[in-house]
Structure 1
Amino acid sequence: MRPATRTWIAVVIVGCVLAGGAYALTRPGKGQGGKTSGGASAAPGPRATPVVIALARAGDLPVALTALGSVTALNTVTVRSRVDGQLLKTLFSEGQLVRQGELLAEIDPSPFQAQVTQAEGQLARDMAALQNARLDLERYRVLVDKEMIARQQFDTQAATVRQAEGAVKADQGQLELIKVQLSYTRITAPLSGRVGLRLVDPGNMVKANDPGGLVVIAQIEPIAVVFAIPEDSLQPVLRQYRTGKAVPVDAYDREGKKKLATGVLAAVDNQIDPGTGTVKLKASFPNHDGALFPNQFVNARVLLDVLPNVVLAPGEAIQRGPQGAFVYVVKPDGIAQMRRLELGPSDGGLVAVKQGLAAGEAVVVDGAEKLQDGAKVEPRERAPARTRS
């Protein structure tokens, strides 16, 4: 064999040996097995569970009762004509806010003006007749004193004067009645409020007994909210109502997130509905901004009491189990500890804690379903929640 060939064979053998050694050193599990068998290091611990935390705090908690209610106009009036006639014009826009006494419509006054003229003429005629009868009576009085005429003739003239006086009074009453009817041709708003859609167009004949009327006015400043509460909740409301102090009532939208208006409890119904076991309450709201609209559905929130300086925990942190309510408290060393709680009332996403939690402790609000007592956690503080307006 030639020397060059032997040299190439030796190079190939050395390369194979080096490649095999490198594979043996770098194959998976080799390094770990060596460490385990040698006992140089222990296996890594369990990974920390990421959670979101919030701090319990001390504060005042309002105790409130919430019920679904309906906005109701404090007063609703159907404006009708009080006399018969042709509707000449309407002076309001549909949906307009009007003030009490504001002119809404006019009915043709000409027939009533003619009746006024006629009644005034009748009154003038009867007053002239009365004046003449009184002059005759004075003449008869002189003659009867001188016994120049019979007493009966004087008495007859006195009766004629009284009849003329009665006729004048009847004429005066008739004239006043026609003037009142003439004033009814100018239809004014009986109260302040918002007018609805026009029910009769100008040019139509209207009558005093028309059931539909001309327009409907709803008083919306102030406005009312009617809602029902369970009979078991009636006594706490009555205790506050009977003190004579104003009981605050807030109106929220259907979702209960946005506050629309603030008012006071105005009335409590005098009986409980036996079919539903509820009693109706009415609250009054100034409604200057028009936030409440008749027949709108709202959530009425009645403030019953305020618990001062109690421990408040986020409602998301409260967990329920066979043994009651509990939370996971994250200790400074990153360990989650399960705590049994004694709870009080709740409001606005906060729950009053009577026992089991202190102000300033961090509780898990997200990720609690993955935890067990004593678990290692990786806490992240929750962003501050927006205050409910």
Structure 2
Amino acid sequence: MLVIPNLIQVALVVLLYYVARMAARPATTVLDKILAAEWASKYRYQTGLIIKPLLLPVAWLALAGVEHLVALKLGWPAGITAFATSLLTAWVVIRLLLNFIADPWWSRAVAVFVWSVTALDIVGLLDPTLEIMDRLAVNLGSFRLSLLVVAKAIVVMVVLLWMANWAARMVEGRLKRISQFTPSQKVLFGKLSRVMFVTLAILVGINMVGIDLTALHVFSGALGLGVGIGLQKVVSNLLSGVILLMDRSVKPGDVVSIGGTYGWINSIGARYVSVVTRDGIEHLIPNEVLISTPVENWSHSDRLVRQRLPIGISYDSDVHLAIKLAEQAGGEFSRILKNPAPRCLLKGYGDNSLDLELRVWIEDAEKGVSNIKSEIYLRIHELFAQNNVAFPYPQRDIHVKGPVRLMFDGTLEPPEPEHFSGAVEGGSVDLKP
């Protein structure tokens, strides 16, 4: 590398990099103008994602290739430029192929790994590198753990786990299209298939690396002890999740109330249930809680929910008219079911009012219950005001025992304290001498 011809080639390769970098800038500007056109709108994202990162290496590769051909034509040394051209070609091809991986981070990570292996092979250093990695090892009993085995295990596990997740997504997508299964059964079978594929991938990967599966029984005792001491809650939540999916006591879309949390179930996971409230807050409730505590499921067997709206009217109002108007108000909203129809009942005689209760039925509790109550109350207020049905006010009667003298300024002089009884908390005051 330190001879003059090789140093000149290295300098040329570096110089061509800066020339390609300057050439890539106007090329990027031209590409942006082309993609800004209306006809290219649907290709803008993918084209920008795939083509833009390749402009610099493609320009560098083109310049290095031309320089290599010129050097060969003139009989100049071209070993370094040949290596550079091969490495750049491998990089462009690998990046172009791995752009089909959706995750940008994984796409770049895989590209760097594959290109590194290819580069070592091109320069003839792959076998020596693998030999060195194999020599860096430790002996664990009868098992020899080397750096090469660890690298192989990582590569194999990444590939197999990616394949397992892909297969699990395919199965879950297929289950969603099967109408004979309930939502809970679809989630259960999807989770079981994912666990099965991942477990199979791990076992196959261990076997492919060369680790004897019969040696795993050594860790079974430690694993059981770990589960018994530190993973009780985790295992309990996993088993509780399976039970919830099998008995279908709760399922995605159900409207539930758990420990003061009211909302609808968004999803059922392996460890927790996601409950979204009307405020948009997502509560992650452990599966064990749904098994061990009472749960109000408003849509378990059917979606009908009855709402009770207490109403108070004055004793001087027409109670029959008030009942008719309340039922009319409840029936004016599309969310209120016509069968069973709204029903208003006289519940009792209160201290200051006749106590009525309007009962209405809805079947879409996930859209909220407080909002429909508010709308009904507003409509009742309008109808009562139009028909002279009065709402009561709290009243208190004060009884004064003993004589009361009228003062010159028009006020009443209260009696002695021992002759005074009663208290004023609100409403009107009736002085009875």
Q: So what's the TM-score if we normalise by structure 1?
A: 0.23
Higher helix fraction (1 or 2): 2
Larger radius of gyration, structure 1 or 2?
1
